[in-house]
Amino acid sequence: MNATGMSLFNVGQASIARIEETYKPVYKPGDLFPEWSNDILAKHRHWLAPNHYDEASGLIYLSVQSWLLQIGKKKILIDCCCGNNKSRPTRPFWNMLNTPYLDRLAAAGARPDEIDFVMCTHLHHDHVGWNTQLKDGRWVPTFPNARYVFSKPDFDYYHKLDSEPGAEPVEFGTFRECVLPIVDAGRADLVTGPHRLNDHLEIIPAPGHSAGHVVFKLESAGQHAMFIGDVFHHLLQVYYPHWNFPKNSDAEQARVSRRMILEQCASSGALVFPGHVGAPFAGRIEATGTGFVPRF
């Protein structure tokens, strides 16, 4: 972490900066994970507090963050958080935010017009919020020169839901506010299946949390990283891969994808960049005789 509080990482010739939107204790552990117990807390308390669990409130920490990846002359933004001034009545901790997200992005080395790619692991509201900004009453791309890389299976899933007669706007309306305007502006690349973006980046399907959730695999100078989105939300799910976050399109498929990605991360030695895990925000996965251990 540098003097400005920004977390910086290097993988081969790539530099990666964490762009924070929010980082606070938000959920009761039992609301996220029915398997939570006092015995689990006692077993893991030595690492849970203070970055992953707040003793005072008894709430689990969730970070909402983007990753700014710079490699070669390309600037790539991975996942776009919740965005400002978005109504989230059932998510009070993300409701009507007013954060200096774009200032933090600039401090990390990228103004909006300098971003070459925006890549979303999936299209949930807390990963697409900054895709667009409201200008003159219209939602327009925040990153005007970027190609936006979306999973086609995710796009198709939400487009179908959103198009049904009388349908409520899906994902708090962010599909209409933060995804469709990108497609309408001709800035979107919809990708399917394993897909190589360039010499360094590969897109790997990891469905379950959403219908078309993907993971981005980075390789540079013989080193590896994995940007895993919401394959897991909390490091407890590394110890307990069968634990699921409540919001999944397919709970069993989410478990299959989680084990697959944990195995890939452990076998490759990849530096792992999740969407919501607390400080130090990135780390590695170690395979043990009985499962996995996070080395964060």
**Residue 2 domain-assigned?**
no
Tell me the CA distances in angstroms from 206 to 129, 189, 192, 193, 232, one per residue in order. Answer: 21, 18, 12, 10, 11
Residue 1, domain member (yes or no): no
pLDDT in tens, 230-285: 999 999 999 999 999 999 999 999 999 999 999 999 999 999 999 999 999 999 99
- Print the domain residue range for 138: 8-295
Mean pLDDT of 34-47: 97
Q: Write the pLDDT tens digit of every residue in 192-202.
A: 989 999 999 99
Q: Say which CATH number the domain at 225 has.
A: 3.60.15.10
CB 113 within 8 A of CB 105: no
The answer to whether 291 touches 278, Cβ cutoff 8 Å, is no
- Residue 27, pLDDT > 80, answer yes
Mention every residue, 6+ apart, whose C-beta is less than 8 A from residue 10.
16
Q: Is residue 3 assigned to a domain?
A: no
> How many residues in total does the chain contain?
296
* SS3 of the chain: CCCCCCCEEEECCEEEEEEEEEEEEEECHHHHCCCCCHHHHHHHHHHHCCCCEECCCCEEEEEEEEEEEEECCEEEEECCCCCCCCCCCCCHHHCCCCCCHHHHHHHCCCCHHHCCEEECCCCCHHHCHHHEEEECCEEEECCCCCEEEEEHHHHHHHHHHHHCCCCCCCHHHHHHHHHHHHHHCCCEEEECCCEECCCCEEEEECCCCCCCCEEEEEEECCEEEEEEECCCCCCHHHHCCCCCCCCCCCHHHHHHHHHHHHHHHHHHCCEEEECCCCCCCCEEEEECCCCEEEEC
Q: Give the C-alpha separation, 255 to 233, whole Å.
A: 13
- Residue 105 counted as domain residue: yes
Interval 112-160: pLDDT, tens: 999 999 999 999 999 999 999 999 999 999 999 999 999 999 999 999 9
What is the DSSP pairing of strand 223-229 with strand 271-274? parallel
Closest CA to 236 of 50, 36, 59: 36
Specify the number of domains making up the chain.
1
The pTM of the full predicted model, rounded to 2 decimals, is 0.96
In a domain? residue 220: yes
